[in-house]
Amino acid sequence: MSDLLIRGRLLSFLRRPDSVEDGEAVSYEEDGGLLIRNGRIVRRGPFAAVQAEAGAGAEIVDHRPHLVLPGFIDAHAHFPQMQVIASFGAELLEWLNRYTFPEEMKFSDPAHGRRIASAFLDEMVRHGTTTAAVYCTVRPESADAFFAEAEARGMAMIAGKVMMDRNAPDGLTDTPQSSHDETAALIARWHGRGRLSYAITPRFAITSTPAQMEMVQALTAAHPDCHVQTHLSENHAEIALTRELYPDAPDYFGVYEAYGMAGPKSLFGHSIHLSERELDAMADSGSVAVFCPTSNLFLGSGLMDWQRYNRRARPVRTAAATDVGGGTNYSMLRTMDEGYKVIALNGEKINPLASFWQITRGNAEALSMADRLGTLEEGSDADLVVLDARATPGMALRMETVTTLAEELFLLQTMGDDRAIAETWVAGRRAKSAISG
Ligand code: GUN
Ligand code: ZN
């Protein structure tokens, strides 16, 4: 592959911006250049300086006046739920039983798994997302289909087969032993292969017996470099049932702590209704609370207090995610727009710089991958999203009155969707236009 030189308005983050005035958290180059070689960013700086270093044969792609950011990261999504999105009228447990579990049964057909995995990654790329932490179904074939499709596209994806041995229909459960053995085999096959990582994925406490949770504990101890992902404190009925099933635990997070699941590589989807003890335990263990605003509003689950988690005396690490198909959109822009409204209902505001930090570097840090992802620093992977703040007539008109970068970002978040994604690059290759023609 020859060198690639990308020109545009480069934007990335060094840490979480405290306010719209927090320029020191932001790295911005008005006429910037990224020199990309073998899928990596090798030089970043003013375009003229980077061009002077590039070989004469470098292909130049000029994205001006658009913004070039690190590709978006989605910290929690269910690829098998593409045909569950927009299922009417149920809260979490009924929604699972009525819509989601029957849908996930279809993945006993490997051809269906391959078709949906491919469609899911198409949608990710169309929406500017280059990395996601993904739940597959209980069937290991669904994880094989997902990983194979991600590998073919060279995408940095994290995924795992869900472990669930109770409170689900026949045909959609495993056993403690089979879940252990299938997970171990998938880790051996996929973890660390190319850009792929495995997440040990007990669906949630309700669908795992204590015997299966012991297997989760054994797997996490044996594979400390794998992620762990599950659901936590999404709605009140779920919490009450969990407390009945695990009466000895002090609270919901305490169930996961008891089985060795608290830790810096552990991602807890939703994490809405938590006590101070649970938040302290999450903070002290470095566990990550994953904010899923479109899902939480759609299912009526509650308002996670992202702002307070980040700035409490013992801060809880946060991530943001679509939670497709409880979540209603593939776009991280739509996600943070809904996140802004959730936090407004909590009486606060997420500043737009912090939103874009969260869906790039913030999520990379939450996934312990910021050394390679979520930045435009030299040495990191060339996963990029190109944003057009004039993508629709209404956005273009509003842009006439925009005077700052923070205002432009807030417009992108508030009005933007897949139409605002001018291009997506995966490991230095065009990805969006390749599928949209
Ligand atoms: N809790 C357990 N499984 C799921 C799921 O698939 N989606 C959501 N939103 N919550 C869950
Ligand atoms: Zn989920």
> 362 C-alpha to center of ligand 1: Å?
23
CB-ligand 1 contact for 43 (6 Å cutoff): no
Low-confidence ranges of the chain (pLDDT < 70): 1, 433-437
- Full DSSP string of 215-283: HHHHHHHH-TTSEEEEEES-SHHHHHHHHHH-TTSSSHHHHHHHTT--STTEEEEE--S--HHHHHHHH
Return the CATH class of domain 4-70+376-434. mainly beta
pLDDT value at position 349? 95
pLDDT value at position 1? 63
Helix (H, G, I), strand (E, B) or coil at 43: strand
| Closest approach atom of ligand 1 to CA 238 | 1
From 417, 435, 363, select the one nearest 128 (Cα to Cα). 417
**Distance between CA atoms of 143 and 183, rounded to whole angstroms?**
10
Mean pLDDT of all residues in the chain?
97
349: CB partners within 8 A, 6+ apart: 340, 343
Q: Where are the domains of the chain?
A: 4-70+376-434, 72-367
The CATH number, out of the four listed (3.30.70.2190, 3.20.20.140, 2.60.40.10, 3.10.20.90), of the domain defined by the range 72-367 = 3.20.20.140
pLDDT value at position 55? 82
pLDDT value at position 436? 47
pLDDT, one tens digit per residue, over 296-319 is: 999 999 999 999 999 999 999 999
225: CB partners within 8 A, 6+ apart: 191, 192, 265
118: CB partners within 8 A, 6+ apart: 149
pLDDT value at position 433? 61
Q: Which of 98, 231, 271 should be mutated for ligand 1, with most atoms under 8 A from CB?
A: 231
pLDDT value at position 56? 86
- Full DSSP string of 369-389: -TTTSS---TTSB--EEEE-T
Residue nearest to atom 3 of ligand 1 (CA): 203
pLDDT value at position 388? 98
